[in-house]
Amino acid sequence: MTIKHRFSQMKKNKGLVALISVIAAPFLILATGLAIDSGRAYLVKAKLFTAVDAAGIAAARAVSEGEDAARSAAAKMFTANLPNGYHESTTVSPTLSFGYDEFGNVSIDVSASAQVNTTFLGVFGYSTLNLNATAQTVRRPVDLVLVVDNTTSLRLGSIGDVTEDVIERSKDFISNFNENFDRVALVKYAYGGEVPVAFQSSRGHVRSDITSAIDAFNFGSWSNPQYTNASEGFYLALDSIRNVDNPANLKVIVFFTDGAPNTFSSEFDFTSTSTNYTGSIRSSDDPSGTPRGLWRHNAIATQLSGSGYQGSNIDDRIASLPDYYTPHNADATEFKVLNPDHPYRPVYQYSPASNSANDLFTRINRVARNLVEDMAEAARNEGIYVFTLGLGSALTSAAGPDNELGEDLLLRMANDPKLLDDADLADDYHADQLEGVYCHAEDEQALGPCFDEMLNVIIRLTL
């Protein structure tokens, strides 16, 4: 081949490459534009799906205040997750539709759309890409009992009078549940327990009845000291859920206190009389002391009438401890009082002839703690979530004859996974039981965030 021929061939090849480049250019631009614009569209669509899901959850949380409140909450959450202009997109506020069934379930369908302005594809007539997303959230009804400590320490404790904070935060918490399908009851306790507002037989509750009962809380005074009969308060909550008509699939007990249990109720056999008295007997948070009692188990701070109330001489009058927790049923055998085999707090029989007042004091304190933990475990085994909220420094300070932290007891009651973070408590976590939440509020300012933490978990459980 001559040099002239090779040169001619090279010119032909260059011309062919140029021709192919001209022909391929639009396709290369289209491919490049498709890659860039579709990549931006993918990012926007991912955010769109996230925003729609978040809007549905926000609506489910707010639907207790009505459909308008749910729509408003959904719109705010949608915008927070997908602001207008994200990657040059234009969004449309989500559309919500609501459905209700005879079981109290509320279905919330959310749909939304976004448009993405293109950069390269506009050359080919595609100036925007239209994106759509839908999601459905089902808000299940809940049967919930709020159990609130009404003891004196909330008025005159180490962090001052927090009674108004407890009242306001409790009312705020209750306001998040739907009056038409969420069933809510209220329990208060001190020496004994009361149910100011019981469950309705039908689904729903009357919020004004509950807020009025919360406003009427009486936290006592130094002249009328009140001790912490946590097991009585918890039992009333457990009994309420056990006996409710048409129970919801989701059942929750929210238990609030600012101190560890030191009082319990049962039917007691007295010396020198054939009469048995049912009431509450108390120790204290001190390492030792003299027990006092009896008070009514079904009232916040009321003495038994006549010889039933023995004051500081109760250790001389009680012939023995009962075998079981029996204030509501003399034949009950579900929860032990005597428990010599308890791994942490063994409880042995008491005899005034051979045991001191301090021996009885220690037994009472141990029973008070054992009972509420046993009741919480029974609740979890029956499919009831237990949430515990503790207020103040008393719960993080060792107290009682066994030098225990009240916070540890609340962690065990809730079966909070945080138990696993402490080598001494890890074995108390039950992986086969429902997990609840324990939240510690150091002071009254932390009460609101703690209630919100529990509310968020409860709402997620309803979805």
pLDDT in tens, 77-135: 999 998 888 877 888 889 999 998 877 788 999 999 988 877 655 555 556 778 899 99
Query: Contact at 8 Å (CB) between 129 and 41?
Result: yes
Residue 243 belongs to what domain range? Answer: 142-265+289-462
Q: Which two tokens stand for residue 29?
A: 């631009």
Exposure of 226 in the CB half-sphere (CA atoms within 13 A): 29
Q: Is the pLDDT of residue 10 over 60?
A: no
Residue 76 lies in a domain: yes
15 falls in which pLDDT band (50, 70, 90)? low
| Mean pLDDT, residues 6-21 | 56
Domain boundary (124, 139, 154) is at 139
- pLDDT more than 70, % of the chain: 86
Query: Contact at 8 Å (CB) between 250 and 462?
Result: yes
Degrees, nearest 5: CA angle 190-193-196: 115
Cβ neighbours around 309 below 10 Å, total:
17
pLDDT of 463 reads 81
Return d(Cα 104, Cα 397) in angstroms, integer.
43
Average pLDDT, the chain: 88
310 and 182 co-located in one domain: yes
Q: Which two tokens stand for residue 423?
A: 């080598």
Q: Is the pLDDT of residue 361 over 80?
A: yes
Any idea what the CATH number is for the domain that residue 230 is in?
Answer: 3.40.50.410
| Mean pLDDT, residues 265-284 | 90
Tell me the CA end-to-end span of the chain in Å, nearest whole number. 81
76 and 222 co-located in one domain: no
334 and 225 co-located in one domain: yes
346 and 424 co-located in one domain: yes
Q: Is the pLDDT of residue 356 over 60?
A: yes
| Mean pLDDT, residues 37-59 | 84
Domain boundary (122, 139, 156) is at 139
Query: Contact at 8 Å (CB) between 174 and 212?
Result: no
State which of 50-64, 194-208, 213-227 shows the largest mean pLDDT. 194-208
| Mean pLDDT, residues 382-398 | 94
Return the higher-pLDDT residue of 420 and 40: 420
Return the higher-pLDDT residue of 149 and 91: 149
- pLDDT more than 90, % of the chain: 62
The pairing of strands 276-282 and 404-405 is unpaired
| Mean pLDDT, residues 326-339 | 96
Query: Contact at 8 Å (CB) between 189 and 229?
Result: yes
Residue linked to tokens 């007990």? 253
Q: Is the pLDDT of residue 7 over 80?
A: no
Residue 282 lies in a domain: no
Residue 271 lies in a domain: no
153 and 131 co-located in one domain: no
Residue 274 lies in a domain: no
Residue 270 lies in a domain: no
155 and 126 co-located in one domain: no
Residue linked to tokens 């490049």? 32
224 and 356 co-located in one domain: yes
3-state secondary structure of 403: coil
| Mean pLDDT, residues 394-407 | 93
331 and 455 co-located in one domain: yes
Q: Is the pLDDT of residue 289 over 60?
A: yes
The single-letter code of the amino acid at 308 is G
Return the higher-pLDDT residue of 246 and 16: 246
Q: Which two tokens stand for residue 92?
A: 């449309």
Query: Contact at 8 Å (CB) between 48 and 112?
Result: yes
Query: Contact at 8 Å (CB) between 148 and 427?
Result: no
Residue linked to tokens 């008491």? 350
Question: pLDDT by residue (tens digit) across 230-272?
Answer: 999 999 999 999 999 889 999 999 999 999 999 999 999 988 7
pLDDT of 120 reads 56
96 and 168 co-located in one domain: no
Query: Contact at 8 Å (CB) between 227 and 282?
Result: yes
Number of domains in the chain: 2
84 and 156 co-located in one domain: no
Q: Which of 456, 453, 419, 428 is nearest to 439 (CA)?
A: 453
pLDDT of 27 reads 57
Lowest mean pLDDT among 63-67, 146-150, 195-199: 63-67
Alpha helices in 63-206 (DSSP H): 67-81, 153-156, 163-174
pLDDT of 17 reads 52
| Mean pLDDT, residues 297-315 | 81
Beta bridge partners of 384: 251
Lowest mean pLDDT among 53-67, 138-152, 248-262, 369-383: 53-67
pLDDT of 45 reads 85
208 falls in which pLDDT band (50, 70, 90)? very high
Lowest mean pLDDT among 30-34, 37-41, 47-51: 30-34
pLDDT of 134 reads 93
Q: Which two tokens stand for residue 62?
A: 């707010």
Three-state secondary structure readout of 319-371:
EECCCECCCCCCCCCCCECCECCCCCCCECCCCCCCCCHHHHHHHHHHHHHHH
253 and 130 co-located in one domain: no
| Mean pLDDT, residues 422-436 | 95
Q: Is the pLDDT of residue 14 over 60?
A: no
Q: Is the pLDDT of residue 213 over 90?
A: yes
109 and 159 co-located in one domain: no
pLDDT of 66 reads 86
Exposure of 225 in the CB half-sphere (CA atoms within 13 A): 11
pLDDT of 125 reads 55
3-state secondary structure of 74: helix
Residue 373 lies in a domain: yes
Return d(Cα 323, Cα 303) in angstroms, integer.
24
Q: Which of 141, 249, 259 is nearest to 190 (CA)?
A: 259
Q: Is 168 exposed, middle or buried (0-12, 13-18, 19+ CB in 10 A)?
A: middle
Residue 111 lies in a domain: yes
Lowest mean pLDDT among 38-47, 159-168, 181-190: 38-47
The predicted model scores a pTM of 0.81
pLDDT of 28 reads 53
Domain boundary (86, 117, 139) is at 139
Residue 257 lies in a domain: yes
